[in-house]
C-alpha cells in the first residue's frame, strides 16, 4: 500500500468524525486546578498534623514546657541583648547648670558561663559602678539584669540608682508601684531625696508623686525595652524630697 492509498483511507475515516480545536487551555486550567487543590490538601493535612501535635504536647506531662522551648526566642547572644543592652531614656533636664538624664538598660540573660563572662566585661566597659555588679559570671547565668542610671554633667561614669538581677520578672499589676527616692547630685543636701525612679504595671497611665510639703506632680510612665513593666521618673524642686508615689490612672 502506497502513501497515497493511506491518505485516501484516512480521509474517508475523517468524514465520519467531527474534529474540533484541541482544548489546550481547558486542559491547562484543569491541571492547574488539580495542582492547587493538591497544594491546599497538603497544607490542610500539615495544619492538622501540627494542631494534633500541639494538642498532644499540651496534654502530656511537661508538654507546655516543650512548646515553650521550641518558641524560646532568639538563640544568638547578640539577638538576646547579652552584650549590648536595650536602652530606654526615662527623663532628662538641667539642674543648677548641669544637664542630667536617667536611662534604663536591660541586659538579656546569658545561657552559660562563657556568655556571662562576656556580659560582665561589657557591663564594666559601659561604666556601671562595680559595687552593684554580681560577684562573678555565675551570678548572671539565666538571669536578666537591669539598671536605672543617672548621667549628670561631666561625670565620667553613670551613677546607678536602681539595680536588680532576676531569674524571672516579678511583673507589676493593677495599682502596684515600686520606686526608689534618691538625691539628684552626690553633694545633695542630706535628706533631700528629690528623684523618684520606679516601675508600675504595663496598664498604668499616670503616676502621681507627692513632695514633703504635699505638693505634687504627675508623670506619664513609659514603656521600656526589655521590661514587661512601665517606668516613671519624678523630680521634686530643690530642697524638697519625695514623700510618696502612686498610680492614679
What nine digits make up the cell of 72?
524560646
For residues 85 and 160, membership in a common domain is answered with yes
Count of CB atoms situated within 10 Å of the CB of 221? 23
Q: Which of 48, 70, 92 is the last residue of a domain?
A: 70
| Proportion of the chain above pLDDT 70, given as a percent | 66
pLDDT digit string, tens, across residues 26-67: 333 333 333 333 333 332 222 323 333 322 222 333 333 334
For residues 164 and 177, membership in a common domain is answered with no
pLDDT at 101: 93
For residues 111 and 162, membership in a common domain is answered with yes
For residues 138 and 199, membership in a common domain is answered with no
For residues 183 and 245, membership in a common domain is answered with yes
Q: Which of 23, 51, 70 is the last residue of a domain?
A: 70
pLDDT at 97: 85
**Span of 90-99, 126-135, 157-166, 236-245 with lowest mean pLDDT:** 126-135
Q: Which of 40, 70, 100 is the last residue of a domain?
A: 70
Widest Cα–Cα separation across the chain: 124
For residues 162 and 176, membership in a common domain is answered with no
Q: Look at 9 and 121; give whichever has higher pLDDT.
A: 121
For residues 160 and 86, membership in a common domain is answered with yes
pLDDT band at 134, cuts 50/70/90? Answer: low
When divided into structural domains, the chain yields a total of 3
For residues 235 and 218, membership in a common domain is answered with yes
Domain residues for the domain of 194 are 169-249
pLDDT at 1: 54
Please state, in angstroms and rounded to a whole number, the distance separating the CA atoms of residues 2 and 11.
Answer: 15
Please state, in angstroms and rounded to a whole number, the distance separating the CA atoms of residues 231 and 191.
Answer: 24
pLDDT band at 100, cuts 50/70/90? Answer: very high
Write down the pTM of the prediction.
Answer: 0.67
Amino acid at each position: 500500500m502506497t502513501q497515497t492509498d493511506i491518505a485516501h483511507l484516512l480521509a474517508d475515516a475523517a468524514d465520519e468524525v467531527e474534529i474540533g480545536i484541541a482544548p489546550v487551555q481547558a486542559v491547562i486550567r484543569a491541571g492547574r486546578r488539580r495542582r492547587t487543590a493538591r497544594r491546599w490538601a497538603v497544607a490542610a493535612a500539615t495544619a492538622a498534623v501540627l494542631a494534633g501535635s500541639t494538642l498532644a504536647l499540651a496534654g502530656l506531662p511537661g508538654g507546655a514546657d516543650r512548646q515553650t522551648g521550641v518558641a524560646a526566642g532568639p538563640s544568638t547572644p547578640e539577638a538576646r541583648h547579652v552584650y549590648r543592652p536595650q536602652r530606654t531614656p526615662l527623663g532628662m533636664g538641667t539642674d543648677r547648670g548641669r544637664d542630667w538624664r536617667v536611662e534604663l538598660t536591660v541586659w538579656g540573660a546569658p545561657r552559660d558561663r562563657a556568655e556571662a563572662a562576656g556580659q560582665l566585661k561589657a557591663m564594666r566597659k559601659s561604666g556601671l559602678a562595680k559595687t552593684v555588679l554580681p560577684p562573678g559570671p555565675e551570678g548572671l547565668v539565666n538571669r536578666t539584669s537591669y539598671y536605672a542610671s543617672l548621667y549628670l554633667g561631666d561625670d565620667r561614669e553613670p551613677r546607678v540608682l536602681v539595680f536588680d538581677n532576676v531569674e524571672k520578672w516579678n511583673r507589676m499589676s493593677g495599682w502596684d508601684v515600686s520606686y526608689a527616692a534618691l538625691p539628684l547630685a552626690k553633694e545633695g543636701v542630706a535628706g533631700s531625696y528629690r528623684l523618684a525612679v520606679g516601675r508600675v504595671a504595663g496598664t498604668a497611665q499616670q503616676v502621681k508623686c507627692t513632695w514633703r510639703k504635699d505638693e505634687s506632680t504627675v508623670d506619664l510612665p513609659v514603656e521600656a525595652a526589655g521590661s514587661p513593666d512601665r517606668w516613671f521618673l519624678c523630680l521634686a524642686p530643690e530642697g524638697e524630697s519625695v514623700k510618696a508615689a502612686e498610680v492614679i490612672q
